[in-house]
Each structure stands twice: as C-alpha cells, then as structure tokens.
C-alpha cells in the first residue's frame, strides 16, 4: 500500500511527461505546457503539509483515503478536460493527492516497520521510483502513439479507487502523540509563490525580468524562513530553523542533492541535439539515473551509524563529481554518436543517481530519529516538501541557466554546447555544498535530544 502510493505518483509523473506533446496537439495550450508540472509540484507541497496539520480526528489511514480520492478526482478531470486550462485544474488536484500519498509513505514507516528496518523501507520506496521510471514512459508512449492520452489518465482512476477502499483495512490508524499547531498558511504561500516565480523566470526572454523574478523568489524563500523562525504555526518541526540543528542540516542536504539531480531535465535534449540520439533512446538513457538511485539504495540499505554517514558523504561527492564531469562528456558535439563519448556520458548519468541513492534512505532515517517528540508526522511530511521544492527549484534554476547561456539565443548546436557547459558546471555546486553539511551529521541511534 505504501509503496503503491509512491509508485502511483511516480508512474503518473513520467506518463504525463510523455503525454504532454499529444495533449497539446489535441486541445492546444502550448504556452501553458510547463505549467502542467509547475502546478502539480506546487500542489504537492500543499498536500504534504496537510499530513502534518490535519485535524486530530483524521487518522493516517483516513488521510491516505483522502489522498487517493483526490488523486483519482484529478485524474478524472484530466481525462475529460476539453481545454488545457481544465487539464491544469486536474493536475492541481492530482498534485494535492500525490503530496498526501508520498508524505504518508514516510509518516507510516514508524508505525509499520521496526526501527531496524526504517532505512530498508526507504530503500523500497526508491525501488518504486526506479520501476516507475521504466513503466511510466513505456505506458505513456503506448497511449501517446495512439493519441489516447485521455485513456491514460482514466487508467489511474480505478487504481486510486482501489487504494482508497483498501487503506482503512490494510493500514494501521497511525494514532500517536502529536503536537498540534495551526496551519502555516503564510510560509506555504511564500514558498509556492517562490516556485511559481522561478518557473516564470526560467521561461521569460527578457534578462532584466528574469533576474527580477529570480530575485523575488529568493526574497520569498528568505521571508518564509524568517516567519518560520518565530511562528507558532510551523511548517517544519520545532528548532529546525537553526544553523545548530542537525535536522536542519539533513533537510538542507536533501534539498541540495535534489537541486543538483534535477539538472537531468535537459539531458534528453542535449543527447538528441549534441549526440544525435533518438528521442526514445534518450528517454531511456536518462532513466539510468533512476536506476542508479535504486541500485545504490539497495547496495547501502544495511549500513548503520558511521558507515551510513560515510555513505551520505561519499554519495554527495559522487553526485557532485559525476555532474561536473558531464561538462566534458555531455557538453560535447558528437553528431556521429561516437560510442566512447556517449558511453562515458551515460556512466556519469548513472552515477548522478547512484550518488543520491547511496545516502537518501539514511537521510530519511536521520529525520525520523531527530524529529522532536510529537512532531514525527510534521518531520515526515517535510521530507516530501523538500522533495517537491528541490525538484521545482532544480528544474527552474536549470531553465534559468540554460536560457541565459545560449539555449535560446543563439540556439542550435552552439547554444546547446554553452548551455550544457554552464548548467552542469553550476549545478554540481549544490551537491558539493551537501558534502560539507554531511560531514557534520550525528551518527548512531540519534534522537532529537542529541
């Protein structure tokens, strides 16, 4: 049930990415193309927050029902949508449901598994993403080939209904001690606004406007942090907004690693333009990143204490190095698809995922250990919030970098070369920062008191 909720979200993410060109050809709305992802990510932040601030009467398994129902309703709206604007409404409702389901996957760990299996449970979730990476594009490609994109969304409706029906029967209630606070509306609003402004910044052509929007996004994030520091209605667990907080460092590591790995959004484009790879093959080559994540997660699942922390540090270093080395392999003109250069770039794509996969499950375990008493739900939900923000900020920053460094002007091969060079050179830096944060993590059976 828990892996299924995460896989439902993951498969749908890749299905939609594959279907969007068919949707635009059928009902129009090309100017709104990128918003199908932006709105979904922003809504998932809201959905993950609901898990932490839900009413006391709503148990975790009932919360799961709400998430599955919302996901099904959003899928139905997308399936019958006559316009792109309606698709975006459906994507927003889907995002709310997905945020709830993914956050619950982490929140339920402490109720379903003994403590010794927490990192293993997180590894299984990574496996769900790895499987979805191959299933999603395949399913989406089958439906896109027949212009049956509505049927692809409709396929998700009975799956959502089945999961909503089974949740109260198969999942524990998840009742436990909770510290109840108000809903952090202002912090959520500022973070969602920052995501939207960065998304705008990645698509506008005027450099001055792009800089203004990016600056406004930074101000929005800074304001959210300042408000969170003093607010009674908090988005994060108590004490997290502090440079001395180990939990804050864990969240920052997660955010930095995800910002770096989301530079993969342009890998298919560079493979096609610079290396002469077909669209289908480029899709599966970038899927190797998720395969690397899953492989590393299983390889390091049994690590504990100092060994787990070393895996986090080593993983961040591998991700940073692999991303930087794409400057010398992916950012090269290889029109004949020379095997040596292409194979080397493919290895680094795999290692980007392998690096983040080495430490992710152990970072999740740190969150569960470090969460203050009564705030584990909030701490678990914040994992999903960091995932959504990392993906949104990473994709938006990637868009800003490539559009500023030549992807649009001069465009073509020359523009793609300079854009790839700057993209992977700059976005290796967040993972490098994560190394510095990771070397200071506590080890062993860590608690909030530590």
Same domain as 190, residue 103: no
Sign (positive or negative) of CA dihedral 390, 393, 396, 397: negative
Place of tokens 């790879």: 277
Residue that terminates a domain, selected from 191, 211, 233: 233
Instruction: Quote the tokens at residue 157.
Output: 């409706």
When mean pLDDT is compared across 280-284, 313-317, 360-364, the lowest value belongs to 280-284
> Quick one: pLDDT at residue 145?
66
pLDDT of 445 over the 80 cut: no
Please indicate, yes or no, if residue 450 is contained in any of the structural domains: no
Residue 56 included in any domain = yes
The answer, yes or no, to whether residue 299 has pLDDT greater than 50, is yes
Give the pLDDT confidence score for residue 446 in this predicted structure: 43
Contact 292, 425 (CB under 8 A): no
Confidence at residue 108, expressed as pLDDT on a 0 to 100 scale: 86
If asked whether residues 426 and 277 sit together in one domain, one would say yes
Peptide bond preceding 410 in cis form (omega within 30 of 0): yes
Domain count for the chain: 3
pLDDT at 194 over 50: yes
Give the range among 166-170, 234-238, 289-293 with minimum mean pLDDT.
Answer: 234-238
Q: What stretches of 330-443 show up as alpha helix (H) in DSSP?
A: 339-370, 376-404, 412-426, 429-438
187 and 296: one domain? no
User: Is pLDDT of 447 > 60?
Assistant: no
Q: What is the CATH number of the domain that holds 321?
A: 1.20.1250.20
- In this prediction, residue 33 carries a pLDDT of 67
Locate tokens 């999603």: which residue?
A: 136
Same structural domain for residues 172 and 215?
no
Q: Model-level pTM? A: 0.81
Q: In the prediction, which pLDDT does 106 show?
A: 84
pLDDT at residue 147 greater than cutoff 80: no
Domain boundary among 201, 233, 265: 233
Same domain as 201, residue 101: no
Do 20 and 44 lie in a common domain? yes
Phi/psi at 333 (5° precision)? -85, 115
Quick one: 148 and 213 in the same domain? no
Q: What is the pLDDT of residues 305-356, one digit of tens each?
A: 899 999 999 999 999 999 999 999 999 999 888 899 999 999 999 999 999 9
- pLDDT of residue 433 exceeding 80: yes
From its phi and psi, is residue 412 left (phi > 0), alpha (psi between -120 and 50) or beta? left
Residue 97 and residue 154 share a domain: yes
The stretch 125-140 carries a mean pLDDT of 74
Contacts of 10 (CB under 8 A, 6+ apart): 128, 129, 132, 133, 136
- State the residue range of the domain holding 167: 1-176
What mean pLDDT, rounded, does the chain reach?
Answer: 85
Domain boundary among 158, 176, 194: 176
Average pLDDT over residues 62-80: 95
Report the pLDDT value the prediction gives residue 450, as an integer from 0 to 100.
38
User: Who has greater pLDDT, 150 or 22?
Assistant: 150
**How does residue 191 score in pLDDT terms, banded at 50, 70 and 90?**
confident
On whether the CB atoms of residues 126 and 10 are closer than 8 A, the answer is no
pLDDT of residue 288 exceeding 90: no
User: Do 286 and 418 belong together in one domain?
Assistant: yes
> What is the rounded average pLDDT of the residues 398-419?
86
Is the Cβ–Cβ distance between 138 and 15 less than 8 Å?
no
Residues of the chain with pLDDT > 90, as a percent, come to 36
Quote the tokens at residue 119.
């990192």
Q: Flag the least confident range among 23-37, 52-66, 337-351, 356-370.
A: 23-37
238 located within any domain: no
In a domain, 53, yes or no: yes
**Structural domain includes residue 367:** yes
Question: Which region among 38-42, 134-138, 326-330, 430-434 has the lowest average model confidence (pLDDT)?
Answer: 134-138
State whether 346 and 370 are in the same domain.
Answer: yes
**Does residue 239 sit within a domain?**
no
The pLDDT score that the predictor gives to residue 279 is 65
231-276 pLDDT, tens digit each? 877 878 887 887 788 999 999 999 999 999 988 878 888 888 899 8
pLDDT computed for residue 182 by the predictor:
67
- Are 208 and 316 within one domain? no
Instruction: Answer yes or no: is 21 within a domain.
Output: yes
CA distances from 15 to 81, 149, 282 (A): 17, 9, 16
**Residue 62 corresponds to which tokens in the numbers above?**
């009932």
The answer on 299 and 211 residing in a single domain is: no
Distances (CA, A) of 237 to 48, 53, 360, 363, 377: 14, 11, 20, 16, 9
Structure-token pair, residue 63:
């919360």
Question: Taking residues 410-439, what's their average pLDDT?
Answer: 93
Q: Average of pLDDT values for 280-302?
A: 83
Give the whole-angstrom CA distance, residue 111 versus residue 98.
20
């Amino acid at each position: 049930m828990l892996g299924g909720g995460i896989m439902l979200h993951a498969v749908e993410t890749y299905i939609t990415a594959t279907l969007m060109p068919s949707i635009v050809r059928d009902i129009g709305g090309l100017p709104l193309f990128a918003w199908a992802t932006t709105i979904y990510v922003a809504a998932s932040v809201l959905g993950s927050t609901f898990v932490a601030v839900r009413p006391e009467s709503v148990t975790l398994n009932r919360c799961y029902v709400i998430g599955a129902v919302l996901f099904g309703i959003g899928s139905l709206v997308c399936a019958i949508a006559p316009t792109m604007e309606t698709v975006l409404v459906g994507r927003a409702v889907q995002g709310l449901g997905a945020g709830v389901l993914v956050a619950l996957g982490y929140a339920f760990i402490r109720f379903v598994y003994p403590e010794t299996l927490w990192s293993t449970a997180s590894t299984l979730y990574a496996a769900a993403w790895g499987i979805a990476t191959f299933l999603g594009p395949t399913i989406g490609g089958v439906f896109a080939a027949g212009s049956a994109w509505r049927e692809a969304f409709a396929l998700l409706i009975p799956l959502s209904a089945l999961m909503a029906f089974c949740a109260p029967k198969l999942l524990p209630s998840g009742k436990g001690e909770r510290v109840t606070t108000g809903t952090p509306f202002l912090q959520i609003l500022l973070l969602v606004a920052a995501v939207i402004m960065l998304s705008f910044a990645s698509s506008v052509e005027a450099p001055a406007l792009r800089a203004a929007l990016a600056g406004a996004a930074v101000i929005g994030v800074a304001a959210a942090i300042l408000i969170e520091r003093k607010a009674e209605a908090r988005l994060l667990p108590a004490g997290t907004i502090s440079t001395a907080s180990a939990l804050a460092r864990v969240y920052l590591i997660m955010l930095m690693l995800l910002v770096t790995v989301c530079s993969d959004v342009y890998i298919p484009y560079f493979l096609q333009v610079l290396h002469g790879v077909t669209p289908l093959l480029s899709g599966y080559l970038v899927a190797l990143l998720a395969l690397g994540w899953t492989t590393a997660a299983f390889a390091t699942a049994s690590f504990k204490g100092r060994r787990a922390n070393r895996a986090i540090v080593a993983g961040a270093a591998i991700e940073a190095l692999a991303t930087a080395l794409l400057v010398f392999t992916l950012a090269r003109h290889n029109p004949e698809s020379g095997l040596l250069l292409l194979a080397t770039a493919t290895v680094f794509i795999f290692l980007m995922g392998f690096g983040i996969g080495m430490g992710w499950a152990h970072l999740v375990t740190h969150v569960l250990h470090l969460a203050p008493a009564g705030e584990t739900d909030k701490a678990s939900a914040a994992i999903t919030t960091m995932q959504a923000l990392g993906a949104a900020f990473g994709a938006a920053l990637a868009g800003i970098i490539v559009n500023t460094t030549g992807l649009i002007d001069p465009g073509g091969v020359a523009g793609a070369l300079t854009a790839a060079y700057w993209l992977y050179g700059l976005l290796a830096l967040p993972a490098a920062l994560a190394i510095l944060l990771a070397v200071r993590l506590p080890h062993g059976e860590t608690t909030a008191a530590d």
